[in-house]
Amino acid sequence: MVAETVILEVAPPGPDHWTEAWITADFTFRNLGDAPEQMEVGFPLSCPSCIWPPTGEIQEINDLAVYINSLQVTPHLETAVFPSHYNDLSLNCAVFDSTFPPGLDVFVRVTYTARSLFVSYNYHIFTYMLQTGSGWYDTIGSADIITRLPYPANALNTWLDRSGLTGDSPTIIPTISGRELCWHYE
């Protein structure tokens, strides 16, 4: 995978204090081999920490759209198991076929709406799972995670939680500019 760019465009909270974010995830894949590779690609429709109060049910994406090189494709539903250092995770995934020609970039775009995980009248949490890209063979070049808020961002009105991250990576603090928070990984 050459690059991943995720944009979370957060809507202002509604009268019931819930809010949504419109998610666009762009992936650039490049086959570094000498022959075309055909495989199923999957995108998780939920995450283990996506519990939707007050029901306690796991929040699942229901409006996912997938595009390969700008052409919309129709995924099918499968359950996939992701290894975890706590327990293996079984998640519903949107799965679609893709061909990766040697030496050429393939662009995949995924869009959907996420409802915030409501914490209080002042805090809303959105999650995005990065672990699923780890199955790509060879290197992952870069990832940019961009959150656009409906108001200017600053250290007093954002909460940057690393509790779901593992490994020896140092804490990565986002760049804050206007109403955007940007994380960059390589």
Mean pLDDT of the chain: 81
| Structure tokens that stand for 32 in this block | 């570094």
For residue 48, what pLDDT is reported?
A: 62
d(CA 29, CA 125): 29
Q: Which stretch of 2-6, 26-30, 140-144 has the lowest confidence by average pLDDT?
A: 140-144
The whole-number average pLDDT for the span 88-117 is: 89
pTM score, whole prediction: 0.83
